[in-house]
Amino acid sequence: MTTNTQTPEALTPDQVINLDAYPLHQPESESFARIAAQAKAELDTKQYVVLPNFIRPEARRQAVAQIGTVLPAANHNASTRNCYLQRRKDPTLPDDHPRNILFPASTWMLAADRLPADNPLKTMYYWDNMIDFVGRIVGTEQLYANDDPMQPVNAVCYKDGDQSAWHFDSVNAFTMTLMLQAPESGGRFEIIPNTRRDDDECIDRVRQAVQGDSADCVEVAREEGALCIFRGCNSLHRVSPVAGDRMRIMGVFVYEKEPGVIGDPEVNETVYGRATAAAE
């Protein structure tokens, strides 16, 4: 199993993150506070915010190259599921209930323990200044790295024909992804902000949305190197089918509001194809 210990060849945070545009190394500066505040305001208003050119080009290329070397170990997560990530219908509910409307989804998932220890995604994820920056944007005073061997930092790959169907993210209050490689075509990221509320499942609105009737759907432009933070727990989102030989590759980061969080083995089995960490 790979570890979080970096090798001497690992890029440093200043070689990974575009500190010229995002001065994370100067957390007490006015520019840091301004950029974080602007991003927070945009997230609160639109339920998503995109930070372009967040990763440096050489670090992005290194991350993509390393992902390519370990891609054979990726779990092909192909299934039919509803927008709540459930794979079975509920016979007690009407056929047109969102829980009974299933769509195909297909991705290739590389867990954290499959990624090399010196992968730039890990350098970015574990840097304290990065954690502080994200916390300010999402409005959480203290965030922590996830302690599960598989969940903290993932790479999600979409080959020709792969897609992510309409869904809500189940637990975390926010989702953070980094566009490492764009496909030749397709792979559009679409989101319907505030599709449901914490105190209301908004079943009628969700039903209309998954059936293709939503004027609120927004296509979020994602260029290579762009970091996106969005409220996926209450906003339906999907990735349209990818077309072509060039994979769509995303980095996915999971932070927690409390320390020591370990993932549910059943969830890991579903997402990564195994419940325990990879063997040495």
167-193: pLDDT as tens digits: 999 777 899 999 999 999 999 999 999
pLDDT at 280: 55
Which run of H or E residues covers position 200? none
For the record, the structure tokens of 10 come out as: 């690992």
**How many Å apart are CA 111 and CA 102, to the nearest integer?**
25
Record the tokens describing residue 253, joined without a space: 């980061």
Helices 128-138/30-46 angle, 10° precision: 50
Position 3 scores a pLDDT of 43
Residue with tokens 């190394």: 25
Please work out, in degrees rounded to the nearest 5, the angle formed at the alpha carbon of residue 169 by the alpha carbons of 165 and 174: 130
Better pLDDT: 2 or 265: 265
d(CA 183, CA 227): 16
- The stretch 119-123 carries a mean pLDDT of 98
Q: Vertex 84, ends 79 and 90: CA angle to 5°?
A: 85
Count the Cβ atoms, other than its own, within 10 Å of residue 113: 23
* pLDDT recorded at residue 7: 46
270 or 106: which carries more pLDDT confidence? 106
Cα four-point dihedral sign 3, 153, 273, 77: negative
Looking at residue 123, what is its pLDDT? 98
- List the domains of the chain with CATH numbers: 19-272 (2.60.120.620)
pLDDT digits (tens, 9 = 90+) for 103-114: 999 999 999 999
pLDDT the model gives residue 21: 98
Residues listed for the chain? 280
Mean pLDDT score of the chain, rounded to an integer?
A: 93
Give me the pLDDT at residue 5, please.
42
Is the predicted pLDDT of residue 263 greater than 90, yes or no? no
pTM recorded for the entire structure: 0.92
3-state secondary structure of 103: strand
The model's confidence at residue 270, banded by pLDDT at 50, 70 and 90, is confident
9 pLDDT exceeds 90?
no
Residues 6+ apart with CB under 8 A from 216: 192, 193, 195
Whether residue 181 contacts residue 246, with contact meaning beta carbons closer than 8 Å, is answered with: yes
* DSSP element (H, E) containing 65: helix 57-70
Which DSSP state fits 197? B
Q: What is the pLDDT of residue 143?
A: 97
pLDDT at 2 over 80: no
| 151-155, 242-246, 270-274: segment of lowest average pLDDT | 270-274
In 3D space, the residue among 220, 219, 255 whose CA is nearest the CA of residue 127 turns out to be 255
